[in-house]
Amino acid sequence: MKGTEEFILAGNNKLLVGDYKGAIFEFTKAIMASPLLPHAYSSRGYAKLEMRDYEGAIYDCQQAINLHYRMESLSKDIRSEFRTSNNNTNTTYARLYSILGIAKLLQGDKEDALLLLHTARLLGNSDAEDIIKTYYRD
């Protein structure tokens, strides 16, 4: 029987070839196996965005943000004890806020989209800045 890592790998492979339905299926299996794993939610959110399921993408990205935050809070003491940090934290949040912003933009909610895309930009996502420039010329 496949484990969570295998489901995520299969989902990522399906994303690479544009099989978004298959990716959603694999990431859903990963979530069922490990419901507290934020990566499965964020990847499924991206696949849902590609499938134009904006509500689903928003839900999954919000779940991923909440789970990442919980994991950071729990591991903060451990990281400070060993003087290590997670350099990917900003990148992860930037990606999630970018997906949320794009979903909101495509839903027609420009005000929330702009806020989310600015957040992604501040976290280091340069693509978010390009989207802002393209869609907010007024």
Q: Which domains does the chain have, with CATH numbers?
A: 1-64 (1.25.40.10), 87-138 (no CATH)
DSSP string, 50-100: HTT-HHHHHHHHHHHHHHHHHHHHHHHHHHHHHT---TTHHHHHHHHHHHH
CA–CA separation, 122 and 15 (whole Å): 27
Answer yes or no: are the C-beta atoms of 60 and 44 closer than 8 Å. yes
| pTM metric for this prediction | 0.84
Q: Hey, is 18 helix, strand or coil? A: coil
> Per residue in 103-128, pLDDT tens?
999 999 999 999 999 999 999 998 98
> Per residue in 43-75, pLDDT tens?
999 999 999 999 999 999 999 999 998 888 776
Higher pLDDT, 1 or 122: 122
CA–CA separation, 31 and 125 (whole Å): 26
Largest CA distance in the chain: 54
